[in-house]
Amino acid sequence: MKHAKVSRANPALVICAIDCSGSMDGSHAHRHAFAAINALRKNANSKKKQVRLVVIGFSGGAKTEYNGWCENFPGIKRMGGTSQTHLKEACDQVGVEYDNHVKNHCNDGNPLVNVLMFTDGSHTPGLDIKRADSGISLGNNKWAEKTPDGWIKRIADLENVLLGVIDYSGKLPQFPLPTLKIPYKKVTCASVLEKSMLQRAYARDLTMPPPPGQSLEEVFGPIQNLEGRRFIVSSKAIKDNPQVTSAFVRLGTASTFAGANTGANIGGAGPPMPPDDTDFTSRLESSWGEGE
């Protein structure tokens, strides 16, 4: 990765896009994702005004639920949605938030950005069709123009961006080679993991040990298993294993929290992450509700 040094002049950006469709709403996957993201706030306490956090919820549409300093994140109580999965609009919203961050918060045009996508589904094809009020099809709308990868690729291809995907359905291959072709209805253009970033992430587990059984090496295996492979974590068993979601978030944000300009060494400062099956209450609750 090549990016501006993380500082108050060029704060890092962490974008978490969370699938809120019916199969995810209220599931173990949601609870694990919310708790793992909530834990980022503790890491940001030693890097105040150096890391911004954006949380996007998506189902039949996409909506930014939080945009602010990571240390001020109130947590998530619930994000409900519909039975549909508008993966394309979620990808487009990632780009919107990236552009806003660069324009409004950075002196330079290449801040460090970590994008993490949490989903168990593919894009719903019916969302690519324009319909009259009566429900009659009027042909394709703008979303039909590109695949999910097509909507996020301009961000994913940037040298200052790390894009990771966790697929709770298990239909995507885990840590695939960059040359492997994958079905287009999902986000598959995840970043290729570099050795230097992996070394930093694994070293951070030594200075900020996670709970037993939750280190990156215990969850994903040695660095050699990940180096040069796409950052896609996928398994049907993930929903029942909170340590996988926790490891995904820690790996995906290691470049941010190990590299902020605080004078700290690779481990950074702050307490170890809590187990991410912890239930927590917060002041932030999505206004989408059951009926959207």
Number of independent structural domains in the chain: 1
The dihedral built from the CA positions of residue 113, 270, 243 and 285, taken in this order, carries a sign that is negative
* Residue 109 domain flag: yes
Is residue 264 over pLDDT 60? no
Is the CB of residue 12 less than 8 Å from the CB of residue 40? no
* Residue 75 domain flag: yes
* Residue 277 domain flag: no
Q: What is the pLDDT of residues 14-51, one digit of tens each?
A: 999 999 988 887 678 888 888 889 889 888 888 899 99
Six-digit token pair at 101? Answer: 């961050």
Q: What is the CATH number of the domain that holds 67?
A: 3.40.50.410
Is residue 266 over pLDDT 70? no
The percent of residues above 70 in pLDDT, for the chain, comes to 87
pLDDT at 26: 67
pLDDT at 236: 77
* Residue 250 domain flag: yes
One-letter amino acid at 201 equals: A
Neighbours of 97 (CB within 10 A): 22
Q: Whole domain around residue 101: which residue ranges? A: 12-257
* Residue 51 domain flag: yes
* Residue 292 domain flag: no
Indicate the helix (H) or strand (E) that contains 137: strand 137-140
CA distance 221 to 47: 29
Please tell me which residue, 13 or 126, carries the higher pLDDT value: 13
CA distance 207 to 204: 5
Q: Taking Cα atoms as reference points, which of 34, 47, 19, 127 lies closest to residue 76?
A: 34
Prediction pTM value: 0.87
CA distance 111 to 261: 13
